[in-house]
Amino acid sequence: MSIADDFDLQNFLPYLLNQAAEVSSLQFQQVYKDRYGMLRTEWRVLFHLGIYGKMTAKQIGERSKMHKTKISRAVAKLAERRFLTRHRDGADRRLEYLELTEAGRRAYRDLREVAKTHDSALAARFSEADMATFKRMLRALASGAA
């Protein structure tokens, strides 16, 4: 096996996907990190609330597939920084509705524009048809179903 093994890491999908994901996340990461001191989990929660409006931690978990402890901690930090507020449900007091404050909405709108620009820059490197195929396949892989 020493020299010239026939297996190629650059063709192994999980490896390749991870490398592409890492590289493409980096630029955007610098923005939310430098500008708002956020973590990946935090901008994700922010975006979910920005896009869908008021929702519970549980619902965010279902949509994002993030583990509830990550969400709990991200929510705590966003609340601490006054980007969101929490209200208990009157009927079922286990539930807590999360909603962005005005500051949170401002941050969301700002980052959304950065995301759109970033996405366009990436998309511009490929044809529209290729990009459509690409996203369709990513969604299929992300959804998992064998």
Partner DNA sequence: CGTTGTTAGTTACAAAATCAACTGTTAACA
Partner DNA sequence: TGTTAACAGTTGATTTTGTAACTAACAACG
SS3 92: coil
Question: What residues line the site for a second copy (CB under 8 A)?
Answer: 1-3, 5, 7-25, 28, 44, 47-48, 50-54, 65, 100, 105, 108-109, 112, 115-116, 118-119, 121-123, 125-126, 130, 133-135, 137-144, 146
Q: How far apart are CA 63 and CA 82, in angstroms?
A: 23
Whole-Å CA distances, 146 to 132, 140, 141, 143? 21, 9, 9, 9
Judged by beta carbon, residue 86 or residue 105, the one nearer DNA is 86
Binding to DNA in span 3-62, by CB under 7 A: 39-41, 56-58, 61
DSSP 22-45: HHHHHHHHHHHHHHH---HHHHHH
Site string for DNA, 58-97 (x = CB under 7 A): x--x-----xxxxxxx-xx---------x----xxxxxx-
